[in-house]
């Protein structure tokens, strides 16, 4: 029997997720949104492409939480995206309210699913989702690091004029301006990026500008689009996580995961490399970081912690 993926939020990312999942025949899809017509319209449109693309996944749109029952995976994009000039943290108050409703809907109707959160501000919203639902931390994870890493790899591949497939990399920390691309753990054709700088294959100045562009990668797209934020690359990243769970691929992926002492962080969701398999987050990998990376990681954790404290002021029940 085909697996079932429910998508909470049928906006830009939700619709793209539905299309990608159907094209891969990864699962049957339930597209849920409070805007009923949007979910039903997109589902029908994608379903009508099956005659051309030849996929057999079923896809329905709904505004009824009962339709998500027994989902293998749930991917959440319900919420409001950024407008030009806004940062992700500006979305906190409104998206907290939305995530509370979503948490209740999931807990009541499909509590055993693997849950991937994409709604911003990511690390704090995924943390709130876990607190509101009280479901196991190994089954709730946030998508951000895969996207940030893919952006970093893309910019590097363009600068070095090499295939992106020759670059392995990891961006750690919170999904914000403090994210931490790890140079020692960025391996290009067998050599670390640190070595690339030493060998003068890329200047420190150029690398700094790529790191800065990666950190502001979301804002660059928000500014260009003028309406809405990035959705193709975020959706592709969410599918990568869902696939690793459904097919038990045990891929190592940078995700916002609940830390319980790892990296000296306790009780907070932050971006780290995790192994995703049939049991959800099966392992958190503790990488060796250099002093500067540790420093930057700490700053990033502090930013997430401060924003979560703000969330607690908005809703003392958190
Ligand atoms: P958008 O196209 O506006 O879709 C959001 C959808 O959520 C809309 O269709 C709304 O109707 C729906 N919605 C609102 N309230 C509810 C609710 N209570 N229950 C169910 N659905 C609801 O936005 P988008 O798809 O472009 O982005 C979705 C979220 O992802 C935003 O918060 C973005 O900031 C975030 N995002 C995160 C990343 C990361 O890397 C973490 C990247 C890009 C966007």
Write the pLDDT tens digit of every residue in 168-203: 999 999 888 888 899 989 999 999 999 999 999 999
Query: Is 20 touching ligand 1 by the criterion CB < 6 Å?
Result: no
The pLDDT of residue 93: 92
Distance from Cα 9 to the centre of ligand 1, integer Å: 6
Q: What is the pLDDT of residue 318?
A: 92
pLDDT of residue 177: 82
| pLDDT tens digits along 199-252 | 999 999 999 999 999 999 999 999 999 999 999 999 999 999 999 999 999 999
Distances (CA, A) of 109 to 76, 113, 171, 277: 15, 10, 34, 23
pLDDT tens digit sequence for 11-66:
999 999 999 999 999 999 999 999 999 999 999 999 999 999 999 999 999 999 99
For residues 8 and 101, give the distance between their C-alpha atoms in angstroms, rounded to a whole number: 11
> Does 81 have pLDDT greater than 90?
no
Is the backbone peptide bond immediately before 121 cis, with ω within 30 degrees of 0? Answer: yes
41 CB near ligand 1 (under 6 Å): no
Alpha-carbon torsion (8, 13, 14, 19), positive or negative = negative
The pTM assigned to this predicted structure is 0.97
Q: Tell me, rounded to whole angstroms, the distance of Cα 60 from its chain centroid.
A: 23
- pLDDT band for 89, please (50, 70, 90 cuts): confident
* pLDDT computed for residue 55 by the predictor: 97
Question: What is the model's pLDDT at position 76?
Answer: 98
Contact 130, 122 (CB under 8 A): no
Question: Residue 194 Cα, ligand 1 centroid: separation in angstroms?
Answer: 37
Stretch 298-315: mean pLDDT, rounded?
A: 94
Which residue's CA is the closest to the ligand 1 atom numbered 42? 234
- pLDDT beyond 90 at 282: yes
List strand residue ranges (DSSP E) for 40-142, in order. Answer: 59-62, 73-76, 114-117, 140-142
Q: In angstroms, what is the span from residue 188 Cα to ligand 1's centroid?
A: 34
For ligand 1, atom 2, the nearest C-alpha belongs to 11
């Amino acid at each position: 029997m085909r697996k079932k993926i429910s998508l909470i939020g049928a906006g830009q990312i939700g619709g793209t997720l539905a299309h990608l999942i159907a094209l891969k025949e990864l699962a049957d899809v339930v597209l849920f949104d409070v805007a009923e017509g949007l979910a039903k319209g997109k589902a029908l449109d994608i379903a009508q492409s099956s005659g051309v693309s030849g996929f057999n996944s079923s896809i329905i749109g709904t505004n009824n939480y009962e339709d998500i029952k027994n989902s293998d995976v749930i991917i959440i994009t319900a919420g409001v995206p950024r407008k030009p000039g806004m940062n992700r943290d500006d979305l906190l108050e409104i998206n907290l309210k939305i995530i509370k409703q979503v948490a209740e809907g999931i807990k009541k109707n499909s509590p055993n699913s693997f849950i991937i959160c994409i709604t911003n501000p990511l690390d704090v919203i995924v943390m709130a989702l876990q607190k509101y639902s009280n479901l196991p931390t190994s089954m709730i994870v946030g998508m951000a690091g895969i996207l940030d890493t893919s952006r970093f790899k893309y910019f590097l591949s363009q600068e070095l004029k090499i295939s992106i497939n020759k670059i392995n990399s990891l961006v750690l920390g919170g999904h914000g301006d403090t994210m931490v691309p790890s140079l020692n753990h960025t391996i290009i054709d067998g050599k670390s990026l640190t070595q690339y700088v030493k060998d003068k294959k890329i200047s420190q100045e150029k690398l700094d500008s790529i790191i800065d562009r990666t950190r502001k990668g979301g804002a660059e797209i928000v500014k260009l689009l003028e309406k809405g934020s990035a959705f193709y690359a975020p959706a592709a990243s969410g599918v990568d996580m869902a696939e690793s769970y459904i097919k038990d691929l045990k891929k190592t992926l940078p995700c916002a995961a609940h830390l319980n002492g790892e990296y000296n962080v306790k009780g907070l969701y932050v971006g780290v490399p995790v192994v995703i398999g049939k049991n959800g987050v099966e392992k958190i990998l503790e990488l060796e970081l250099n002093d500067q990376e540790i420093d930057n990681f700490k700053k990033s954790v502090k930013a997430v912690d401060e924003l979560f404290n703000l969330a607690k002021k908005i809703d003392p029940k958190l």
